[in-house]
Amino acid sequence: MCIRDRYMGTSEHVQEVLRDHCTEFVKVSLSKKVPDDMKIEALGILSHISLGEDWLNYLNNNTFLTFLENLSEYSEEDFVLQMLCLVNKICENPKCTEFLYQTKIIKTLPTLLIDKHEDDEFVYLILKIVKKFLLAGVAITYIINQSKIMEVCLQLVEDSNQNIRAVNNDILDIVLEYDDTLAEKIKEKKFCAWNKVWLESVQGEDEGGYQYEQQPYEGYNEEMLNSRMWDSDSDLD
């Protein structure tokens, strides 16, 4: 799967072939006669097709749009995950992001983020989508007013997953430019997180650093002295 995904993302020839058959993959994803495992594969392929603004041709199709809007209603996690991958791909184009902002998808993200907050894969994807909405400049006020999203983002400052921390920090850096109250909370949280990391590193050095062996004091001994130490400065030149 990883090899396939990497190849689809880098080969322009493969991209051309996939774009030519994009409609067929969409039909497979929407079909009620196709098994879910095949739909998941079709969605996985769609999420790697670089259509840019041409995704609007599909978003203007009510059946396809409703399918995306109802992503949280599906019980199969792999299905929802691949749908999020597709939404993330579509949002690479600012005009498509603006279009999706007018749909139910933007309102689905807070609930999904709360429900899946312990699943790194879901959290990472949802944050990437949120970031794209912010960068497009169409959802800044909405996202800032979503206290649940902001609460989760503040908690993720100390997340153990480096990729999640990186995209989360990007989101918070955008938010603090637009809301003074949140800006103070973000700065305080980041400062506390930095202090925690610093303290842990210092403690680690203390526990794993050099241990100096203490030698017992044996008293004064004339042999310890260098006879030249009493010479004048001129003699040492």
DSSP characters over 197-237: HHHHHHHHHHHHS--PPPPPP----GGGS-GGGGS-GGGG-
List C-alpha distances in Å: 28 to 46, 48, 81, 237: 11, 16, 17, 91
pLDDT tens digits, 132-156: 999 999 889 999 999 888 999 999 9
Using 50, 70 and 90 to split pLDDT, how confident is the model at 11?
confident
Structure-block tokens of residue 26: 């969409």
What whole-number percentage of the chain has pLDDT above 90? 61
| Cβ neighbours around 132 below 10 Å, total | 21
CA distances from residue 203 to 157, 178, 190, 196, 197 in whole angstroms, order as listed: 21, 37, 20, 11, 10
pTM: 0.78
What pLDDT digit, counting tens, does each position of 162-196 carry? 999 999 999 999 999 999 999 999 998 888 877 77
One DSSP character per residue, 123-166 reads HHHHHHHHHHHHHTTSSHHHHHT-HHHHHHHHHGGG-S-HHHHH
